[in-house]
Amino acid sequence: MVYVVPDAGREDKRLNPRDVPETSRPVIFTVLDLLWSAESSRGTDPNMSNGDSGKARGHFQHWRSAWDYGTKQLKVDWPYSDVDNLARAAAVTAACWSGQAREDLLSGNVEMLIRRHRLPNKPMRKDNDRYLKYVLTKGG
């Protein structure tokens, strides 16, 4: 199965699902937008490269292990420093879901995609409830 991911080759910041009519907006863009807003204030947060005491970086607060997993899924050799490249970071996030949350992606389960972004292997862990609420409140 092929999944649509943002164009990782684009260097601009036009990755804004609000430009697409709500009725045709893929769930992946909806969740990426929520995460982007919550995790980096749409790229305007000066501390976006210092989440989790410096362990998570970039637009979507990727840990190195998640970045490595996503780039492996995409079969690309992007350095971890590319977490600050919005299009590449979005593509890596989507690739992680393609590998770790396939059913949630296919069913359009926004809640589980948000939960799996933070804790791919333990999405229902109790402390993830706060994260889900934070993303839906700040990103919505």
Asked if pLDDT for residue 125 goes beyond 50, the answer is yes
φ/ψ of residue 12, rounded to 5: -95, 180
- Where do the domains of the chain lie? 27-41+57-139
* CA torsion through residues 118, 124, 127, 129, sign: positive
pLDDT tens, residue by residue, 11-65: 433 333 344 334 435 788 889 999 998 888 877 777 676 667 778 888 899 999 9
What CA–CA distance (Å, rounded) separates 75 from 26?
Answer: 23
Express each pLDDT in 22-33 by its tens digit. 443 578 888 999
Specify the pTM: 0.78
